[in-house]
Amino acid sequence: MSSERSKLKENVNGSKNTRMNVDAAVADMGARKDEFMHLGRYQKAVQTAIDLSKALGRPIRILDLGCGEIYTMRTLYKAFQVKKSDVVKQYVGVDIDDGMLSRVKAQYDKVLTAVNGKVIVKDITVDPKLKVKDNYFDLIVWFEMIEHVKPEFIPPMFEELHRVLSPEGIMLVSTPNATGSNARLPKDHVYEWGYDELVEVMERNFELVCARGVCINISKIPAEEKAKKARTIKQVYEAFGENTAFSSTVLGPMFPPKYCKNVIYTLRKG
């Protein structure tokens, strides 16, 4: 499934606007590794929201930065048998693509209503500030957006997200894991961060609770690392096939994140 691109009315700082059509991939059974990774992220975000609301004993406010087609809230709406108002007090989705958000408002009105939601057009490279008070959001979801903007715009955004995250809140971040040079990038990406350099930036403001790799390329894992997990690899391959989209995704969290195609980070306010 190829990425979809749409032209933006305004794009001052050369960000790249692209997203996968996960709906189509699932509908026609054409989901590949990237789509499986996306589906797993949405499940992770929703389960985190449910667990956090239970832990806090109240519904929570959620910020979805680079929200796209609001897949996270659509996953909550469709795939989880919970009372939505027990989990979500407010959902705010932010994205640069005004045309897409207009479609989201029209097509997913029931979902937005169920989660007291709204979507906002915003280019964070122009102004990272969010029009909410300090400590406002309990859960921040920032999936697959960092790689689409120039790197100088990322640290200011982390600073702003630190301001708006509640002391007991959680932030989830995912982005491709650059294992070498940025000389050869997908044409939809502006800059891919290496694991260590992104952790260094995040830890200026946040405590890194955990980092888990998502989707491995088995050929890039050192022999000694593969040997440690040889039995598990064999079992996964027996269940799901060798180096298939599903087996590669399943094996990802079992290896150090630096060897994985993508990483999901769980952060708390530092």
pLDDT in tens, the chain (270 residues): 456 667 777 787 888 777 667 776 665 666 676 777 778 889 999 999 999 999 999 999 999 999 999 999 999 999 999 999 999 999 999 999 999 999 999 999 999 999 999 999 999 999 999 999 999 999 999 999 999 999 999 999 999 999 999 999 999 999 998 866 677 788 889 999 999 999 999 999 999 999 999 888 788 889 999 999 999 999 999 999 998 888 988 899 999 998 888 999 999 998
Beta bridge partner(s), residue 118: 92
Encoded tokens for 266: 């769980």
- Please, is 69 exposed, middle or buried when counting C-beta atoms within 10 Å of its C-beta (0-12, 13-18, 19+)? buried
Given this model, what pLDDT does residue 46 score?
Answer: 97
State whether residue 227 is helix, strand or coil. Answer: helix
Given this model, what pLDDT does residue 179 score?
Answer: 66
- Look at phi and psi of residue 14 and say left if phi exceeds 0, alpha if psi is from -120 to 50, else beta: left
DSSP 219: G
Helices (H) and strands (E) in the chain, counts: 11, 9
Euclidean distance between CA atoms 31 and 138, whole angstroms: 31
Given this model, what pLDDT does residue 21 score?
Answer: 72
Encoded tokens for 205: 């403001």
Euclidean distance between CA atoms 175 and 178, whole angstroms: 9
Measured from the Cβ of residue 203, the count of other Cβ atoms closer than 10 Å reads 13
Euclidean distance between CA atoms 11 and 96, whole angstroms: 8
- Around 152, how many Cα atoms within 13 Å sit in the side-chain half-sphere? 4
Given this model, what pLDDT does residue 1 score?
Answer: 46
CA 76 to chain centre: 15
Given this model, what pLDDT does residue 19 score?
Answer: 67
- Around 155, how many Cα atoms within 13 Å sit in the side-chain half-sphere? 7
Task: Name the pTM for this structure.
Answer: 0.87
